[in-house]
Amino acid sequence: MKYNAVTEELIEKLKGVVGDKYATTDKDKLEIYKTDEEGNSIYFHYPEVVVFPGSTEEVAAVVKLANEYLVPITPRSAGTGLSCGAIPIHHGIVIELERMNQILKMDAENLYCIVQPGVRTVDLQQAAKAEGLLYAGDPCSAESCQIGGNLATNAGGNKAVKYGTTRHQIYSLTVVTPLGDIVKVGSRLEKCSTGYCLEQLICGSEGTLGIITEATLKLRALPPYSFDVLAVFNSDEKALSLPRKILKAGIEPTSIEYMDNRSIVISGEFIKIDLPYAKKGGVYDIITVETYDEDELDKKMEKVSMLCEEAGAIDVLMADDRIWEARKKFADACRELCLTWASSDYVVPLDKIIDVTKALPVLMEKHGIDGGIVAHIGDGNIHVNILNTQNQGPEDWANTLHSYDDDIFTLVYSLGGKMSGEHGIGYKKKDAFEKFTPEGEVNLMKMLKKAWDPNNIMNPSKIIDVE
């Protein structure tokens, strides 16, 4: 589709909506918005103007102007995505939501909160904790990512085994539609069978079906007791057999995380800590269990330790802050080693994780790439952080990754998996998504996108292409 360029007339009208201070065409400032966490310059695209609305009404007014002038929009929160979802592929307008960063309500009595999209995830977690409550959304990037991006990509994270992904934390959303209408979808109910579940459809749509400007989210009682166990194994197969044993035993873990030896070494060097068994080829399972009863905690700790030993653990330790820092800093460690690192996040049935991890070293050697594997193995979500250690140029590196992806996606889909468990499709995986997704499913998505966004201005060229 052909879009119009942003004109001086449009810029003046945008300034009239958000104020002169909150609209910029300054080239130095636009530099920030050419990418998200993507380091390969082949994907960089500059917006023509960035606006910083302060309210839902201002977002709606900007969207209406974009329709009037036929200019594409790219919504953006913190820009921590890994699939080029916040890159303005067709230039146009970036709507930056960082000013809308308020926790509007924290209702401890009724276990819910109302937040704007620019609230950092960690700030919401801490605000809930101060009330003795838990906001269960917990992506590894919680200290930098924002709720709007979490909602747009249906972010997962460490606690998804017990509490689900971001979509499981939603009561309702206020959304600016692609035509500039303001609509509230969902409601603060425990169940509902009243029409289409639109809040769930919009969550994970990556800004292609509207811009989320307010969310009513669930809070939970904060479990007062917890333990973190580090089970060290000398083989991937033993480590990856543990989640099914824990779940089958009736223990409801909050998280079960995995690190292969390469990721342990990379993270340990980055945080400058000599991690247990890092130099002896050890691999990690990190298990967190929370309870509301101290006696129950002791019983579950004993049971988990026994299950780890039965699975073949060579050591069972308490997982202190060093271990969690290593797990959460793995992406930062890769970024320091290589700006053009890439992160994948396949998801497969739990019993198929070992099939993927066995194949990965072979595929990585075939394509001449290096990297480490971490995983949310309690929910089958495997992250492979790939390093451009051969310093390939932008085009060659992109081609290498496409070839590798073609092989790994073929395997993942043959096992009943999908190419993304939480990062989303964005622009980077769009072509692969269409290739590996059944035609009927893709066609339904295209029809939906065309109906909701007839001018195709809302984050175009993300997830799917429409004519």
Instruction: Give yes or no: residues 285 and 342 share one domain.
Output: yes
pLDDT score of 157:
86
Determine contact, residues 8/32, Cβ cutoff 8 Å: no
> In this structure, are 71 and 120 located in the same domain?
no
CA-based nearest residue to 119, from 98, 140, 94: 98
- Write out the residue range of the structural domain in which residue 254 sits: 225-415
The residue from 187, 221, 255 where one domain ends is 221
- Give the phi and the psi of residue 374 in degrees, each rounded to 5: -130, 160
Q: At what angle do helices 56-69 and 8-18 cross, to 10 degrees?
A: 170
Same domain, 54 and 27: yes
Same domain, 315 and 199: no
Residue 438 lies in a domain: no
Q: How many domains does the chain have?
A: 3
Within this chain, do residues 194 and 311 fall inside the same structural domain, yes or no?
no
Which CATH number do you get for residue 150?
3.30.465.10
Q: Which of 62, 79, 99 is the last residue of a domain?
A: 99
Instruction: Name the residue with tokens 């809070």.
Output: 219
Using alpha carbons, select from 275, 279, 290 the residue that is nearest to residue 320: 275
- Let me know: does 327 contact 259? Beta carbons within 8 Å: yes
Residue 334 and residue 197 share a domain: no
| CA atoms of 167 and 155, how far apart (whole Å) | 8
Tens place of pLDDT per residue across the chain (467 aa): 799 999 999 999 999 999 999 999 999 999 999 999 999 999 999 999 999 999 999 999 999 999 999 999 999 999 999 999 999 999 999 999 999 999 999 999 999 999 999 999 999 999 999 999 999 999 988 899 999 999 999 999 889 999 999 999 999 999 999 999 999 999 999 999 999 999 999 999 999 999 999 999 999 999 999 999 999 999 999 999 999 999 999 999 999 999 999 999 999 999 999 999 999 999 999 999 999 999 999 999 999 999 999 999 999 999 999 999 999 999 999 999 988 999 999 999 999 999 999 999 999 999 999 999 999 999 999 999 999 988 999 999 999 999 999 999 999 999 999 999 999 999 999 999 999 999 999 999 999 999 999 999 999 999 999 97
Q: So what's the pLDDT on residue 467?
A: 79
Residue 459 placed within a domain: no
In a domain, residue 423? The reply is no
CA dihedral 40, 333, 418, 45 (to 10 degrees): -20
